[in-house]
Amino acid sequence: MRAAYVIVAVILLAVVGGVSMSLIAQSVEQPIPFNHKLHVEEAGMECTDCHLYAVDGVRATIPNIDVCGECHEEPLTESEHEAQVAEHVRDGVPIPWRKVYWVPEHVYFSHRRHTAIAGIACERCHGNMSERVDPLTRPLVRLDMNECIKCHRETDVSNDCVACHK
C-alpha cells in the first residue's frame, strides 16, 4: 500500500513539474517595448526606483502609470513608445504589462528576505536587466525549485520544505 502512495506522489510531482516548466517556457508579448538599458544607463535609475517593495516587501511590483507618471506625464523624447506611456498616464489607463516571473501559489517567497536580509542582488534571479533594450517576454533566468535549492546550498540557507512551502 505504501508503495502505491510513493508511485502516485512521483507521478504527481512529474506532472506538476512538467506543467510548471511548460508555463515558464512560454513567451508573452508586452504592450509597449520597454527599454531597461535606457532607464538604467541614461536616467541612472535602479531596479527599486520602479519595482516597489522589491527590498522591503513580499512581492515586488510591476511598475505602472503611478510610477511611470512620475517622469512621463508628457513625453521627454520623440519616441512613439514613450508617447504611448504618456498617453496611458494622462488617460489614467493602466498599461497591461504581462507578468514574466511568477512563483507558484504553494510557495512562500519574500523579496525582503532575499534582498534586504540576504543581500542578494536582483540580477541573481532576474538576470542582467540593465542590458535589456527589448521588452522582456520570458524569464532571463530559469526559476524553479532546483535553482532555489542550489542557491540555498551555496549560501548555507535552510532547505527545509516548510521554510518555503505553504
**Which uninterrupted H or E stretch holds 123?**
helix 122-126
pLDDT for residue 32: 96
Q: Is the dihedral of CA 158, 159, 162, 163 positive or negative?
A: positive
Return the C-alpha cell found at 71: 517622469
> Where do we find the cell 513608445?
81
pLDDT, one tens digit per residue, over 57-116 is 999 999 999 999 999 999 889 999 999 999 999 999 999 999 999 889 999 999 999 999
pLDDT for residue 3: 56
Contact 88, 78 (CB under 8 A): no
Question: Which amino acid is located at 116 in the chain?
Answer: A
Q: Which residues contact 37 (CB under 8 A, 6 or more apart)?
A: 130, 131, 132, 133
pLDDT of residue 20 exceeding 80, the answer is: no
Residue 84 CA to residue 111 CA, distance in Å, equals 30
Contact 63, 84 (CB under 8 A): no
Residue 80 CA to residue 99 CA, distance in Å, equals 23
pLDDT for residue 1: 58
